[in-house]
């Protein structure tokens, strides 16, 4: 078997094992919370008989292990089940919101990835000088802020001080593409601020590491400009670690946007997850958690394989 194919099979097998572990951890975590879905629906004043009847109706009277494997069996056949709190098909509800999450993540990625590569190359070109210090200082400041602090700062700046956007990112079916772009502008800005520094600093470090190579000195002796050397000679050989950190941040843009979605009341998977965690709706929490884990693991597998393909020494091991 070809080494890359063997690696891909191993990564996929490990990813499936991790997904199984994630589903079990989510199940145990929600089970450990006080109360249950019936209690959340009927409230604290519900009678024991009413709680028992509702639990029987929802299947919550079954042993926890039985409920977990029933749910897992449904997932393996493509059935995510129905939400306990409202009876809505979970797959249908997720499908409506997943597009919004991917749209938000895609907009943020289209801005943050090219910007991080450019800023990283500029910082490497002027390493130790004022452009490098300015770029590093600003990006480190933005990444040091908690997401909700960055979100509220952007809201204050761009809705009150400079009122150019709405503080709530409302999207709905039938909106035009440009209307959606305007609606998600603020959460996109926040996400770009959050993920930019990681990718920029890795790009800078990877390029500076390659710049110590002998062939870079040869290119300099040929009289090539510094930026030409960086983009044509250093960057292609520094791409492996850059791909890895980009993939991790792309995964974050999909699975780590819960706080941003809640702050901006954005109707996507993160908001959907938070709403049903408070209701103790275990099938919904497990389904969304499994999707988030699958995205994160899948992107990391892609990053590993891409890094190997991009590195001739790994692609053709001796």
222-261: per-residue pLDDT in tens?
878 888 888 887 888 788 788 888 888 888 888 878 888 8
Is 258 domain-assigned? Answer: yes
Domain with 192, as residue range(s), is 90-315
Average pLDDT, the chain: 82
* Tally of residues, the chain: 318
Residue 90 has pLDDT above 60, yes or no: yes
Q: How far is CA 116 from the centre of its chain?
A: 17
Query: pLDDT (tens digit, 9 = 90+) per residue, 284-296?
Result: 888 888 888 888 8
Mean pLDDT over residues 197-216, rounded?
Answer: 86
Identify the band that residue 179 occupies on the pLDDT scale cut at 50, 70 and 90. confident
147 found inside a domain: yes
Position 123 in a domain: yes
What's residue 15's pLDDT?
83
What is the average per-residue pLDDT within 81-87?
Answer: 77
Place 35 in a pLDDT band, splitting at 50, 70 and 90: low
Which CATH number covers residue 168?
Answer: 1.10.3720.10
pTM: 0.81
* Residue 56 located in a structural domain: no
163 located within any domain: yes
Q: Is residue 19 part of a domain?
A: no
Neighbours of 285 (CB within 10 A): 20
The C-alpha atoms of residue 21 and residue 43 are separated, in whole angstroms, by 32
pLDDT by residue (tens digit) across 119-130?
A: 999 998 888 888
Place of tokens 């958690």: 289
Span 97-119, average pLDDT: 91
Record the tokens describing residue 104, joined without a space.
Answer: 């938000």
Task: Dig out the tokens for 191 from the structure.
Answer: 């996400």
Q: What is the pLDDT of residue 117?
A: 92
294 domain-assigned: yes
Would you say residue 84 lies in a domain? no
Q: What's the mean pLDDT in 131-136? A: 90
127 three-state secondary structure: coil
- Convert the pLDDT of each residue in 43-77 to its tens digit: 667 777 777 787 787 777 778 788 888 878 888 88
pLDDT band at 36 (very low <50, low <70, confident <90, very high): low
Q: What is the mean pLDDT of residues 162-171?
A: 83
pLDDT of amino acid 246: 87
Q: What total number of domains does the chain contain?
A: 1
Ranked by mean pLDDT, which of 132-141, 170-179, 277-286, 297-306 comes out on top? 132-141
Using alpha carbons, select from 256, 284, 259, 255 the residue that is nearest to residue 271: 259
What whole-number distance in Å separates Cα of residue 246 and Cα of residue 179? 28
End-to-end CA separation in angstroms for the chain: 16
């Amino acid at each position: 078997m070809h080494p890359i194919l063997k690696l891909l099979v191993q990564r996929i097998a490990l990813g499936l094992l991790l997904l199984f572990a994630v589903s079990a951890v989510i199940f145990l975590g929600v089970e450990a919370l006080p109360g249950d879905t019936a209690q959340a629906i009927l409230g604290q004043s519900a009678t024991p008989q009413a709680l028992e009847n509702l639990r029987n109706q929802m299947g919550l009277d079954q042993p926890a292990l039985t409920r977990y494997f029933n749910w897992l069996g449904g997932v393996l056949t493509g059935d995510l089940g129905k939400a306990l709190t409202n009876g809505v098909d979970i797959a249908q509800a997720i499908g409506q919101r997943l597009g919004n999450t991917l749209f938000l993540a895609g907009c943020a990625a289209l801005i943050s990835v090219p910007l991080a590569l450019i800023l990283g190359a500029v910082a490497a070109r002027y390493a130790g000088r004022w452009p490098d210090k300015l770029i590093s200082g600003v990006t480190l400041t933005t990444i040091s802020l908690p997401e909700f602090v960055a979100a509220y700062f952007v809201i204050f700046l761009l809705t009150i001080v400079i009122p150019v956007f709405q503080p709530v990112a409302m999207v709905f079916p039938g909106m035009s593409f440009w209307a959606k772009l305007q609606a998600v502008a603020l959460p996109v800005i926040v996400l770009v601020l959050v993920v930019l520094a990681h990718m920029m600093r890795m790009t800078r470090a990877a390029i500076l590491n390659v710049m110590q190579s002998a062939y870079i000195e040869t290119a300099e002796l040929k009289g090539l400009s510094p930026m030409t050397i960086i983009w044509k000679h250093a960057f292609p050989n520094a791409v492996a670690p850059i791909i890895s950190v980009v993939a991790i941040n792309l995964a974050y843009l999909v699975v780590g946007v819960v706080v941003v979605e809640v702050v901006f009341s954005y109707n996507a998977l993160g908001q959907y997850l938070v709403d049903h965690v408070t209701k103790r709706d275990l099938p919904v929490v497990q389904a969304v958690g499994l999707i988030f884990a699958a995205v994160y693991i899948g992107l990391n597998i892609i990053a590993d394989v891409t890094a190997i393909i991009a590195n001739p020494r790994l692609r053709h091991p001796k």
